[in-house]
Structure 1
Amino acid sequence: MRSIVPQAALLVMSALSVNAFAEEVGESMNWYRCNTHTHTSAPPKSDANASPEFVAEWYKSHGYQCLVITDHEFLTDVTPLNKKHAERGEFLVIQGQEITQALIDESRPTGKRHFHINGIGTGRAIMPIGYPAGARDIAPVDMYVRNIAEIQAAGGIAQINHPNLQWSVQLNDLLPLDQPFLMEVWNAFPTSNNLGGIDDIGNVAPSSEAMWDSLLSAGKVVWAVASDDTHEYYRFDDRLSPTPGQAWVVLQAPQLTQSAVMAALRQGRFYASTGVTLQSYEADERGISMRLVQTPEWSPSTSKPNTRIVTRFIGESGRLLAEVTGLNPAYRFKGDEQYVRAQIVDSNGRRAWTQPVFRDGRLNQLLSRR
């Protein structure tokens, strides 16, 4: 299958050209499509139904260049997979783990709240607090602080998973965190409640994207991820099954190595997508511009592509700064923005999210504390 990633295009992501995490980039930089939340049947108590070998082959054959295997409380050995694929520079598998952190809460219908977090590129397994039953008598933020510290000590990158799973995570659980992290604004598991909602008595849960804006508006450095959270590899006829190929990130790196991929994730050199493709993206001191790829029709020989696309440039508190239609959206900075990011939606519901361009110097402040 042809890769959807335009390898020859130049991507100058926001974290590079405006933010403090700056690097020189040129035509030699490549785009790599990657899933950062993937389960296999490797662990003894796995809840996924395909081997690491099958999983790697599926993603490689469907246009991905890298994959993070994040089995629950288990570090799946990726060495044989990389021996087969990575030595030729065609596909990379990164070791990781989903820390399946739970908090006992008898007021909830399931008796628990869920605070799952991925460790990407970790060198050892990390057990959740209170495993396996769940933690008691501890604040959610303290669990996040502990687990993020453990992930960083193990050489990894922290990714907050599906915050609206069972309506578990609240904004106040994340606001005290002072380290940068990744967060899923879109998790393709069918019951992740990405869009938020209101219950029968009026309790409001914001969308994962709105929660991201609240964190950004509070001065945090958070990079947005879309991922599969794959568990099911055969039942593609069941729309309620967590099958692969539904959400991903496209990152920029000079080469397909673990160090280069990890650097791109740490620095926000990627965009998240459920089907929208960027041909190019550039941000400088004047503004943001991008070129989008028209989605082809199912049968190109009989129909000309006519999908319509709208790009919304969004700032502090989720405020709409501008709305632009077409394949060449651009935004010129006004000078008073705290940050600017883009949400792209096409007429068939596919989406993409670019990372925030910070205009308030927060990355410089972050680096000065290190």
Structure 2
Amino acid sequence: MRLSTFTAPGRFWRGNLHTHSTRSDGVLPPEEVCRRYHAEGYDFLALTDHFVGRWGYPIVDTVPYRTAGFTTILGAELHSGAMANGELWHILAVGLPADFAPSNSPDFVPRPDQETAAEIAERAVAAGAFVAIAHPQWSGLTLADARAVTAAHAVEVYNHGCATGCDRPDGFAIADLLLTEGRRLSMIATDDAHFSEPDHFGGWVMVKSEENEPGALLAALKRGEFYSTQGPELRDVRVEGDRVIVESSAVGSVIVQGWGTGAKGVHGHSMTRTEVPLDRLLNSPWLRVSVIDAAGKRAWSNPFWRDVAGGNPRHA
């Protein structure tokens, strides 16, 4: 079985899915945020300012900042309902229509008559968005919280702003627990850039698509045809018998993770084709791959399911 991420037609496009500007609590205007991502070699950007009344429920029009080689996807970070810790939910929604109806979220304080996180996530998916549970570790998210948002396509497993700002970048624990319970999710790495600290250009997605165009990119995201990275490249992931074959840029570790405690790593120097035996993972219904280079930078495949051709059961 070869992952559809690597067999789908088209090429990989580099993009950031979580970004802020002066339209909410970022420090740069939208046009400068877009300029910087374009200048740094990104192919696309989703500007996702905070969708609260304090800033007029912004879904920022970034269409004027598109060029022949750079596109944008409209989106927002949605806030509605309280988590178990009493704080307001953060839901990333990429691909929202410009007229997406506001929730009753005037600020970052939960209100008793708000939509729940599950309800606003379902509404965003129905409106055409790719939806992710944002920064679980930073939010203090519990597994019960995460279980409730059944419409989400993905979990944000690495957030660069949370890494640089508070050393809480992780979402893998929540994502792996949901996977083990049978949820079929993908995983994204993002910046969550505000440009108030070194929170930018540190984690991104590589989306496989025939076109660098919002509709095509969104469809590929929903199908899970992408991987996430801090720099290393994934070039192929496939299952052959009792092993996973990983082709990548030069790395020192390749690790396959699965159900429960199942994991197996292979370590070396400048590895570009690595075979990982599945002796500890033979009964795992899902697998995912991490690679780590000599500088400690990582890349992550999406989880893939062994009962589905191409590994990914999601459809746009």
Shorter-chain TM-score bucket reads 0.7 to 0.9
Residue identity matched to 2:8: V
Shift of 1:285: 6.2
**Structure with max Cα Rg:** 1
Separation (CA, whole Å) in 2 of partners of 1:67 and 1:367: 23
Shift of 1:209: 0.9
Separation (CA, whole Å) in 1 of partners of 2:2 and 2:159: 22
Q: Is the 8 A contact 1:175 1:218 kept in 2?
A: no
With over 3 angstroms needed to count, the CA separation of the structure-2 counterparts of 1:131 and 1:341, relative to structure 1, is same
| Deviates most, 171-180 or 265-274 | 171-180
Correspondence 1:311 to 2:254 = yes
Residue among 266, 280, 287 paired with 1:323:
266
What are the within-5 Å matches in structure 2 for residues 173-212 of structure 1? 173-189=145-161, 190-191=164-165, 193-194=167-168, 207-212=170-175
Residue among 97, 100, 106 paired with 1:131:
106
User: 2:131: which partner in 1?
Assistant: 158
Shift of 1:327: 2.1
Residue identity matched to 1:95: L
Deviant stretches of 4+, over 6 Å: 362-368
Correspondence 1:255 to 2:202 = no
Correspondence 1:40 to 2:24 = no
* % identical equivalent positions: 23
Residue identity matched to 2:253: V
With over 3 angstroms needed to count, the CA separation of the structure-2 counterparts of 1:272 and 1:364, relative to structure 1, is closer
Structure 2: runs of 5+ lacking an equivalent: 52-57
| Deviates most, 176-185 or 348-357 | 176-185
SS class of match (2:106): coil
SS class of match (2:59): coil
User: 1:355: which partner in 2?
Assistant: 302
Q: In the comparison of the two structures, how many residue pairs are matched?
A: 302
1:96-153: CA deviation from partner (whole Å, max 9, x where unpaired)? 0111346388xx6xxx4242011111003453454325325589xx722111111022
| Deviates most, 357-366 or 245-254 | 357-366
Residue identity matched to 1:343: S
Q: Is the 8 A contact 1:13 1:269 kept in 2?
A: no
With over 3 angstroms needed to count, the CA separation of the structure-2 counterparts of 1:133 and 1:59, relative to structure 1, is closer
Separation (CA, whole Å) in 2 of partners of 1:341 and 1:191: 27
Separation (CA, whole Å) in 2 of partners of 1:55 and 1:365: 33
Separation (CA, whole Å) in 2 of partners of 1:14 and 1:365: 8
Q: Is the 8 A contact 1:180 1:220 kept in 2?
A: no
Separation (CA, whole Å) in 2 of partners of 1:13 and 1:364: 7
Residue identity matched to 2:102: M
What are the within-5 Å matches in structure 2 for residues 45-56 of structure 1? 46-56=24-34
User: 2:54: which partner in 1?
Assistant: none
User: 2:11: which partner in 1?
Assistant: 30
Q: Is the 8 A contact 2:88 2:109 kept in 1?
A: no
Residue among 170, 176, 180 paired with 1:213:
176
Residue identity matched to 1:215: L
What are the within-5 Å matches in structure 2 for residues 239-278 of structure 1? 241-278=197-234
So what's the TM-score if we normalise by structure 2? 0.84
With over 3 angstroms needed to count, the CA separation of the structure-2 counterparts of 1:283 and 1:145, relative to structure 1, is same
Q: Is the 8 A contact 2:121 2:149 kept in 1?
A: no
With over 3 angstroms needed to count, the CA separation of the structure-2 counterparts of 1:162 and 1:267, relative to structure 1, is same
What are the within-5 Å matches in structure 2 for residues 332-343 of structure 1? 336-343=283-290
So what's the TM-score if we normalise by structure 1? 0.72
User: 2:55: which partner in 1?
Assistant: none
With over 3 angstroms needed to count, the CA separation of the structure-2 counterparts of 1:13 and 1:38, relative to structure 1, is farther
Correspondence 1:67 to 2:12 = no
Shift of 1:363: 10
Q: Is the 8 A contact 2:8 2:208 kept in 1?
A: no
With over 3 angstroms needed to count, the CA separation of the structure-2 counterparts of 1:71 and 1:318, relative to structure 1, is farther
Separation (CA, whole Å) in 1 of partners of 2:223 and 2:314: 12
